[in-house]
Amino acid sequence: MPLNLIIALITFSVVLFIITTIILKKGRMPEKYSLLWYFISLVIFMVAVFPNTFAFITEKAGFQTMSNMIIGIVLVLLTFLTMALTIIVSGQKKKTTLLIQEISLLKSEIKKK
């Protein structure tokens, strides 16, 4: 693996690690969601540190270069992540609607009395 790719990967994984930690520290993300980001950061770090193992996997999986494989994996991961987030957001929207309706109904009942 070229040295500049190794440096880029390590930098990226460290930055990801730090950002996740800062977000957690500020309480803007529950711990359970941070696990995924720590895991991704760890995987990227491992790729940079043990390139031979991944070179082996790249060859077996039929990718031309390791960076192709990494981009491919990241793309698939992000697609699923975005889908999961869409589902979560839609669920939240439903719950918010329900809350707004119920509070508004209650408020009007209280006002009547």
Partner 1 sequence: MKNKVLLIIPAYNEEANILNTYNNIMKYNKNNKEKLDVIVINDCSTDRTSEICHNNNIPVIDLIHNLGIGGAVQTGYKYAYKNGYDIAVQFDGDGQHNVNYVKNIIEPIKSKEADFVIGSRFVSDIDTFKTSFARRIGIRIISFFLKITTGYKIYDVTSGFRACSKEIIKDFSISYPPEYPEPVTNAELLRKKFVIKEVPVEMQERTAGVSSIGSWKNIYYMVNVCLSLLVIRIRRYKRCP
Q: Which residues bind partner 1 (CB under 8 A)?
A: 93, 96-97, 100-101, 103-105, 107-108
Query: Of the two residues 35 and 105, which places its CB atom closer to partner 1 in the complex?
Result: 105
CB of 101 to partner 1, least distance (A): 5
**At closest approach, how far in Å is the CB of 82 from partner 1?**
19
Closest CB to partner 1 among 77 and 98? 98
Query: Taking CA 91 as the corner, what is the angle to CA 89 and CA 93, rounded to the nearest 5 degrees?
Result: 70
* Residue 98 CB-half CA count within 13 A: 6
Tell me the closest approach of the beta carbon of residue 91 to partner 1, in angstroms. 13
- Beta carbon nearer to partner 1, 61 or 99: 99
